[in-house]
Structure 1
Amino acid sequence: MSAIHNSRLYSRLANGFFYALAFSAASFGGSLVGTSEAKAQSANSNVSTTSEIKVERVETDANGQQKTVLSDPNSAPVVPGDRVVIVNSYQNTGSQAASNFVTTNPIHPALAFVSVDEDWAEVSVDDGKTWGKLNELTVAADRSDEDAAATTTVTRSAAPADVTHIRWTFPKPIAPGEKGKLTFRAVVR
Protein backbone atom coordinates (compact mmCIF):
# COMPACT_ATOMS: atom_id res chain seq x y z
CA MET A 1 0.00 0.00 0.00
CA SER A 2 1.32 3.46 -0.80
CA ALA A 3 1.79 6.12 1.84
CA ILE A 4 -1.40 7.65 3.12
CA HIS A 5 -1.11 11.40 3.40
CA ASN A 6 -2.11 12.52 6.87
CA SER A 7 -4.98 14.74 5.70
CA ARG A 8 -6.51 11.84 3.77
CA LEU A 9 -6.12 9.57 6.79
CA TYR A 10 -7.63 12.24 8.99
CA SER A 11 -10.53 12.64 6.61
CA ARG A 12 -11.14 8.90 6.69
CA LEU A 13 -10.82 8.78 10.48
CA ALA A 14 -12.73 11.91 11.39
CA ASN A 15 -15.79 11.13 9.30
CA GLY A 16 -17.14 8.55 11.66
CA PHE A 17 -14.18 7.32 13.69
CA PHE A 18 -14.85 9.15 16.94
CA TYR A 19 -18.45 8.42 17.60
CA ALA A 20 -19.95 6.29 20.26
CA LEU A 21 -23.01 4.28 21.23
CA ALA A 22 -23.72 6.80 23.94
CA PHE A 23 -22.58 9.75 21.84
CA SER A 24 -24.27 11.42 18.95
CA ALA A 25 -22.35 10.90 15.70
CA ALA A 26 -19.81 13.63 15.11
CA SER A 27 -17.99 14.95 12.07
CA PHE A 28 -14.99 17.02 13.02
CA GLY A 29 -14.37 19.06 9.90
CA GLY A 30 -10.73 19.93 9.35
CA SER A 31 -9.28 19.26 12.79
CA LEU A 32 -8.14 16.12 14.55
CA VAL A 33 -9.78 17.26 17.75
CA GLY A 34 -13.55 17.23 17.91
CA THR A 35 -16.25 17.56 20.50
CA SER A 36 -19.58 15.83 20.74
CA GLU A 37 -22.15 15.90 23.49
CA ALA A 38 -22.50 12.59 25.28
CA LYS A 39 -25.82 11.09 26.17
CA ALA A 40 -25.49 8.71 29.08
CA GLN A 41 -28.09 6.15 29.86
CA SER A 42 -29.24 8.21 32.85
CA ALA A 43 -31.68 11.01 32.12
CA ASN A 44 -29.62 13.60 34.01
CA SER A 45 -26.33 13.05 32.17
CA ASN A 46 -24.41 15.98 30.82
CA VAL A 47 -21.05 14.49 29.87
CA SER A 48 -19.04 16.30 27.21
CA THR A 49 -16.25 14.64 25.28
CA THR A 50 -13.33 15.46 23.03
CA SER A 51 -11.29 13.04 20.96
CA GLU A 52 -7.71 13.43 19.85
CA ILE A 53 -5.42 11.27 17.77
CA LYS A 54 -1.62 11.33 17.99
CA VAL A 55 1.03 9.42 16.06
CA GLU A 56 3.81 7.66 17.96
CA ARG A 57 7.16 8.66 16.49
CA VAL A 58 10.65 7.56 17.48
CA GLU A 59 13.04 10.50 17.61
CA THR A 60 16.73 10.69 18.37
CA ASP A 61 17.82 13.43 20.76
CA ALA A 62 21.10 15.40 20.70
CA ASN A 63 22.81 12.65 22.74
CA GLY A 64 21.84 9.95 20.23
CA GLN A 65 19.21 8.47 22.55
CA GLN A 66 15.97 7.32 20.97
CA LYS A 67 12.66 8.13 22.59
CA THR A 68 9.03 7.73 21.65
CA VAL A 69 7.05 10.95 21.31
CA LEU A 70 3.44 11.66 20.42
CA SER A 71 3.15 13.91 17.37
CA ASP A 72 0.33 15.74 15.70
CA PRO A 73 -0.60 13.69 12.62
CA ASN A 74 -0.67 16.89 10.58
CA SER A 75 3.08 17.39 11.16
CA ALA A 76 4.23 14.56 8.86
CA PRO A 77 2.74 11.97 6.52
CA VAL A 78 1.03 9.02 8.21
CA VAL A 79 1.90 5.71 6.56
CA PRO A 80 0.87 2.08 7.00
CA GLY A 81 2.57 0.64 10.05
CA ASP A 82 2.48 3.91 12.01
CA ARG A 83 1.19 3.52 15.56
CA VAL A 84 -1.53 5.92 16.69
CA VAL A 85 -2.88 6.76 20.13
CA ILE A 86 -6.52 7.80 20.44
CA VAL A 87 -7.50 9.68 23.59
CA ASN A 88 -11.16 10.27 24.38
CA SER A 89 -11.47 12.85 27.17
CA TYR A 90 -14.71 13.19 29.10
CA GLN A 91 -16.10 15.59 31.70
CA ASN A 92 -19.38 15.74 33.54
CA THR A 93 -20.38 19.37 33.07
CA GLY A 94 -23.71 18.91 34.82
CA SER A 95 -24.75 19.37 38.44
CA GLN A 96 -25.68 15.71 38.97
CA ALA A 97 -23.74 12.47 38.72
CA ALA A 98 -23.99 10.62 35.40
CA SER A 99 -24.89 7.02 36.24
CA ASN A 100 -24.64 3.95 34.01
CA PHE A 101 -22.51 5.80 31.50
CA VAL A 102 -21.44 3.67 28.53
CA THR A 103 -19.41 4.75 25.53
CA THR A 104 -18.37 2.69 22.53
CA ASN A 105 -15.68 3.47 19.96
CA PRO A 106 -15.69 1.64 16.63
CA ILE A 107 -12.27 0.82 15.19
CA HIS A 108 -11.97 2.52 11.82
CA PRO A 109 -11.18 0.10 8.93
CA ALA A 110 -7.96 2.04 8.23
CA LEU A 111 -6.70 0.97 11.67
CA ALA A 112 -5.89 -2.31 13.41
CA PHE A 113 -6.54 -2.32 17.16
CA VAL A 114 -3.50 -2.93 19.38
CA SER A 115 -4.53 -2.30 23.00
CA VAL A 116 -6.73 -0.34 25.37
CA ASP A 117 -5.34 1.25 28.55
CA GLU A 118 -8.33 0.68 30.83
CA ASP A 119 -8.47 -2.92 32.09
CA TRP A 120 -12.23 -2.59 32.62
CA ALA A 121 -12.93 -1.91 28.94
CA GLU A 122 -14.48 -4.63 26.80
CA VAL A 123 -14.03 -5.30 23.11
CA SER A 124 -16.14 -6.77 20.33
CA VAL A 125 -14.97 -8.76 17.32
CA ASP A 126 -18.40 -8.93 15.66
CA ASP A 127 -19.41 -5.29 15.16
CA GLY A 128 -20.79 -4.88 18.67
CA LYS A 129 -23.03 -7.96 18.86
CA THR A 130 -21.06 -9.57 21.71
CA TRP A 131 -18.60 -8.14 24.23
CA GLY A 132 -15.86 -9.38 26.51
CA LYS A 133 -12.16 -9.45 27.22
CA LEU A 134 -10.12 -10.24 24.11
CA ASN A 135 -8.86 -13.53 25.54
CA GLU A 136 -12.48 -14.67 26.03
CA LEU A 137 -13.63 -14.07 22.43
CA THR A 138 -13.46 -16.26 19.33
CA VAL A 139 -13.90 -15.65 15.62
CA ALA A 140 -14.58 -17.94 12.67
CA ALA A 141 -11.33 -19.44 11.45
CA ASP A 142 -10.29 -19.22 7.82
CA ARG A 143 -10.69 -22.60 6.17
CA SER A 144 -9.33 -24.09 3.00
CA ASP A 145 -11.73 -24.73 0.10
CA GLU A 146 -11.80 -28.41 1.01
CA ASP A 147 -12.75 -27.63 4.60
CA ALA A 148 -15.33 -25.04 3.54
CA ALA A 149 -17.75 -27.82 2.61
CA ALA A 150 -17.80 -29.04 6.22
CA THR A 151 -20.96 -28.29 8.17
CA THR A 152 -19.28 -27.41 11.47
CA THR A 153 -18.02 -23.94 12.22
CA VAL A 154 -14.36 -23.77 13.10
CA THR A 155 -13.30 -20.99 15.45
CA ARG A 156 -10.05 -19.60 16.75
CA SER A 157 -9.13 -17.27 19.58
CA ALA A 158 -9.67 -13.63 18.68
CA ALA A 159 -6.57 -11.53 18.01
CA PRO A 160 -6.16 -7.76 18.46
CA ALA A 161 -6.57 -7.19 14.70
CA ASP A 162 -10.06 -8.78 14.93
CA VAL A 163 -11.38 -6.07 17.27
CA THR A 164 -14.14 -3.96 15.71
CA HIS A 165 -15.28 -1.93 18.74
CA ILE A 166 -14.21 -0.93 22.25
CA ARG A 167 -16.76 -0.33 25.01
CA TRP A 168 -16.26 1.38 28.34
CA THR A 169 -19.07 0.78 30.86
CA PHE A 170 -18.29 3.09 33.75
CA PRO A 171 -18.36 1.10 37.00
CA LYS A 172 -19.26 4.16 39.09
CA PRO A 173 -21.26 7.33 38.42
CA ILE A 174 -19.28 10.22 36.95
CA ALA A 175 -19.47 12.98 39.58
CA PRO A 176 -20.22 16.60 38.67
CA GLY A 177 -17.01 18.21 37.40
CA GLU A 178 -15.22 14.86 37.19
CA LYS A 179 -13.08 14.39 34.13
CA GLY A 180 -10.84 11.70 32.74
CA LYS A 181 -9.39 10.04 29.67
CA LEU A 182 -9.99 6.78 27.83
CA THR A 183 -7.08 5.67 25.66
CA PHE A 184 -6.46 3.02 23.04
CA ARG A 185 -3.76 2.29 20.50
CA ALA A 186 -3.90 1.11 16.91
CA VAL A 187 -1.71 0.66 13.85
CA VAL A 188 -2.43 2.19 10.44
CA ARG A 189 -3.23 -0.61 7.95
Structure 2
Amino acid sequence: MAIIVDKIQKKKDIALSCKELFVENGINNLTIAQVAKTAGVGKGTIYEYFNNKEDIVFEIINILLQEHNVKKHAKLESLSSSKDKIKTFFHTFYEEEGEHLRKLYKEFISISLMNRNQEMVDFQTKCSKTYFQWFETIIQEGIDSKELIPNAIKLSRGLFVLGEGMFILNETTDAIENIEEEFDIFFETLFQIIEVQQ
Protein backbone atom coordinates (compact mmCIF):
# COMPACT_ATOMS: atom_id res chain seq x y z
CA MET A 1 0.00 0.00 0.00
CA ALA A 2 1.35 3.43 -0.97
CA ILE A 3 2.17 5.96 1.74
CA ILE A 4 -0.04 9.04 1.48
CA VAL A 5 1.91 12.24 2.09
CA ASP A 6 0.15 15.35 3.35
CA LYS A 7 1.90 17.74 0.94
CA ILE A 8 0.73 20.90 2.70
CA GLN A 9 2.07 19.68 6.04
CA LYS A 10 5.28 18.38 4.43
CA LYS A 11 5.88 21.80 2.86
CA LYS A 12 5.41 23.47 6.26
CA ASP A 13 7.68 20.94 7.96
CA ILE A 14 10.47 21.50 5.44
CA ALA A 15 10.19 25.27 5.73
CA LEU A 16 10.10 25.33 9.52
CA SER A 17 13.03 22.94 9.82
CA CYS A 18 15.10 25.58 7.99
CA LYS A 19 13.91 28.60 9.98
CA GLU A 20 16.98 28.86 12.21
CA LEU A 21 19.26 28.36 9.22
CA PHE A 22 17.73 31.35 7.43
CA VAL A 23 17.66 33.48 10.59
CA GLU A 24 21.34 32.82 11.34
CA ASN A 25 22.73 32.98 7.80
CA GLY A 26 20.36 35.00 5.64
CA ILE A 27 19.14 33.87 2.27
CA ASN A 28 22.13 35.02 0.24
CA ASN A 29 24.61 32.90 2.19
CA LEU A 30 22.76 29.60 1.73
CA THR A 31 22.57 26.98 -0.98
CA ILE A 32 19.70 24.61 -1.71
CA ALA A 33 22.06 21.77 -0.72
CA GLN A 34 22.47 23.30 2.77
CA VAL A 35 18.73 23.81 3.06
CA ALA A 36 18.05 20.21 2.00
CA LYS A 37 20.60 18.87 4.49
CA THR A 38 19.07 20.89 7.33
CA ALA A 39 15.57 19.71 6.37
CA GLY A 40 16.76 16.10 6.17
CA VAL A 41 15.59 15.69 2.58
CA GLY A 42 17.18 15.55 -0.85
CA LYS A 43 17.56 18.55 -3.14
CA GLY A 44 14.93 17.03 -5.42
CA THR A 45 12.41 17.06 -2.59
CA ILE A 46 13.12 20.75 -1.98
CA TYR A 47 12.38 21.49 -5.63
CA GLU A 48 9.24 19.36 -5.45
CA TYR A 49 7.80 21.82 -2.91
CA PHE A 50 9.60 25.09 -3.64
CA ASN A 51 10.89 26.87 -6.74
CA ASN A 52 13.82 28.47 -4.90
CA LYS A 53 15.11 29.67 -1.50
CA GLU A 54 12.88 32.75 -1.71
CA ASP A 55 9.80 30.52 -1.75
CA ILE A 56 10.99 28.85 1.45
CA VAL A 57 11.39 32.20 3.21
CA PHE A 58 7.92 33.15 1.94
CA GLU A 59 6.46 29.94 3.42
CA ILE A 60 8.21 30.49 6.78
CA ILE A 61 6.89 34.07 6.95
CA ASN A 62 3.37 32.82 6.23
CA ILE A 63 3.56 30.29 9.05
CA LEU A 64 5.18 32.64 11.58
CA LEU A 65 2.73 35.45 10.86
CA GLN A 66 -0.23 33.15 11.47
CA GLU A 67 1.27 32.05 14.80
CA HIS A 68 2.16 35.64 15.69
CA ASN A 69 -1.37 36.86 14.92
CA VAL A 70 -2.93 34.32 17.29
CA LYS A 71 -0.62 35.47 20.12
CA LYS A 72 -1.12 39.14 19.28
CA HIS A 73 -4.92 38.76 19.26
CA ALA A 74 -4.87 37.07 22.67
CA LYS A 75 -2.58 39.76 24.09
CA LEU A 76 -4.78 42.58 22.76
CA GLU A 77 -7.94 40.92 24.06
CA SER A 78 -6.43 40.81 27.56
CA LEU A 79 -6.05 44.61 27.63
CA SER A 80 -8.78 47.06 28.54
CA SER A 81 -7.57 50.53 27.55
CA SER A 82 -7.24 51.78 23.99
CA LYS A 83 -3.90 53.31 24.86
CA ASP A 84 -2.48 49.96 25.95
CA LYS A 85 -3.94 48.21 22.92
CA ILE A 86 -2.49 50.72 20.46
CA LYS A 87 0.96 50.59 22.07
CA THR A 88 0.87 46.79 22.21
CA PHE A 89 -0.17 46.60 18.56
CA PHE A 90 3.24 48.02 17.64
CA HIS A 91 5.28 45.94 20.12
CA THR A 92 6.13 43.50 17.30
CA PHE A 93 8.60 46.07 16.01
CA TYR A 94 10.88 45.69 19.01
CA GLU A 95 9.83 42.92 21.42
CA GLU A 96 12.34 40.11 21.88
CA GLU A 97 9.94 37.27 21.09
CA GLY A 98 9.37 38.71 17.60
CA GLU A 99 13.07 38.81 16.71
CA HIS A 100 13.02 35.82 14.34
CA LEU A 101 9.93 37.12 12.59
CA ARG A 102 11.57 40.54 12.14
CA LYS A 103 14.76 39.04 10.70
CA LEU A 104 12.86 36.87 8.24
CA TYR A 105 10.49 39.71 7.38
CA LYS A 106 13.51 41.83 6.41
CA GLU A 107 14.64 38.98 4.14
CA PHE A 108 11.15 38.88 2.66
CA ILE A 109 11.09 42.65 2.07
CA SER A 110 14.49 42.45 0.40
CA ILE A 111 13.30 39.63 -1.85
CA SER A 112 10.11 41.52 -2.66
CA LEU A 113 12.03 44.63 -3.68
CA MET A 114 14.61 42.77 -5.77
CA ASN A 115 12.42 40.07 -7.36
CA ARG A 116 8.93 41.47 -7.29
CA ASN A 117 6.33 38.88 -8.23
CA GLN A 118 2.56 39.00 -8.04
CA GLU A 119 2.23 36.34 -5.33
CA MET A 120 4.46 38.34 -2.99
CA VAL A 121 2.71 41.62 -3.85
CA ASP A 122 -0.67 39.99 -3.16
CA PHE A 123 0.61 38.56 0.13
CA GLN A 124 2.06 41.88 1.27
CA THR A 125 -1.10 43.75 0.22
CA LYS A 126 -3.32 41.28 2.08
CA CYS A 127 -1.14 41.51 5.22
CA SER A 128 -1.12 45.29 5.11
CA LYS A 129 -4.90 45.51 4.69
CA THR A 130 -5.52 42.96 7.43
CA TYR A 131 -3.23 44.72 9.93
CA PHE A 132 -4.59 48.15 9.04
CA GLN A 133 -8.21 47.01 9.50
CA TRP A 134 -7.24 45.46 12.82
CA PHE A 135 -5.55 48.69 13.92
CA GLU A 136 -8.46 50.81 12.68
CA THR A 137 -10.86 48.63 14.69
CA ILE A 138 -8.83 49.29 17.85
CA ILE A 139 -9.05 53.06 17.21
CA GLN A 140 -12.80 52.85 16.52
CA GLU A 141 -13.38 50.84 19.69
CA GLY A 142 -11.51 53.57 21.61
CA ILE A 143 -13.81 56.20 20.08
CA ASP A 144 -16.92 54.12 20.82
CA SER A 145 -15.86 53.70 24.46
CA LYS A 146 -15.28 57.47 24.69
CA GLU A 147 -11.55 57.04 25.38
CA LEU A 148 -10.49 58.67 22.12
CA ILE A 149 -11.80 61.75 20.33
CA PRO A 150 -13.88 61.06 17.17
CA ASN A 151 -11.24 62.58 14.86
CA ALA A 152 -8.72 59.94 16.00
CA ILE A 153 -10.06 57.67 13.26
CA LYS A 154 -8.73 60.11 10.65
CA LEU A 155 -5.22 59.51 11.98
CA SER A 156 -5.37 55.70 11.80
CA ARG A 157 -3.82 55.29 8.32
CA GLY A 158 -1.03 57.76 9.08
CA LEU A 159 -0.27 56.15 12.46
CA PHE A 160 -0.19 52.71 10.90
CA VAL A 161 2.20 53.77 8.13
CA LEU A 162 4.31 55.75 10.60
CA GLY A 163 4.72 52.67 12.81
CA GLU A 164 5.93 50.58 9.87
CA GLY A 165 8.18 53.43 8.75
CA MET A 166 9.83 53.69 12.17
CA PHE A 167 10.46 49.95 12.08
CA ILE A 168 12.09 50.11 8.63
CA LEU A 169 14.15 53.17 9.63
CA ASN A 170 15.30 51.35 12.76
CA GLU A 171 16.27 48.23 10.80
CA THR A 172 18.07 49.99 7.94
CA THR A 173 19.86 52.89 9.66
CA ASP A 174 21.47 53.92 12.93
CA ALA A 175 19.09 56.88 13.18
CA ILE A 176 17.04 55.44 16.05
CA GLU A 177 19.01 54.51 19.16
CA ASN A 178 16.16 52.87 21.06
CA ILE A 179 12.98 52.11 19.10
CA GLU A 180 10.99 51.11 22.18
CA GLU A 181 11.77 54.45 23.80
CA GLU A 182 10.93 56.31 20.57
CA PHE A 183 7.57 54.55 20.34
CA ASP A 184 6.82 55.31 24.00
CA ILE A 185 7.59 59.02 23.55
CA PHE A 186 5.57 59.14 20.34
CA PHE A 187 2.51 57.45 21.83
CA GLU A 188 2.58 59.42 25.08
CA THR A 189 2.58 62.63 23.02
CA LEU A 190 -0.07 61.31 20.63
CA PHE A 191 -2.41 60.42 23.47
CA GLN A 192 -2.21 63.95 24.82
CA ILE A 193 -3.91 64.91 21.55
CA ILE A 194 -6.36 62.06 20.81
CA GLU A 195 -7.37 60.93 24.28
CA VAL A 196 -10.61 62.31 25.68
CA GLN A 197 -9.70 64.58 28.57
CA GLN A 198 -11.49 63.65 31.79
Give the strand-richer structure, 1 or 2: 1
Q: Which has the larger radius of gyration?
A: 2
TM class by shorter-chain length? under 0.3
User: Relative contact order: is structure 1 or structure 2 higher (C-alpha 8 Å, sep ≥ 6)?
Assistant: 1
Normalization by structure 2: what TM-score? Answer: 0.27
TM-score normalised to the size of structure 1? Answer: 0.28
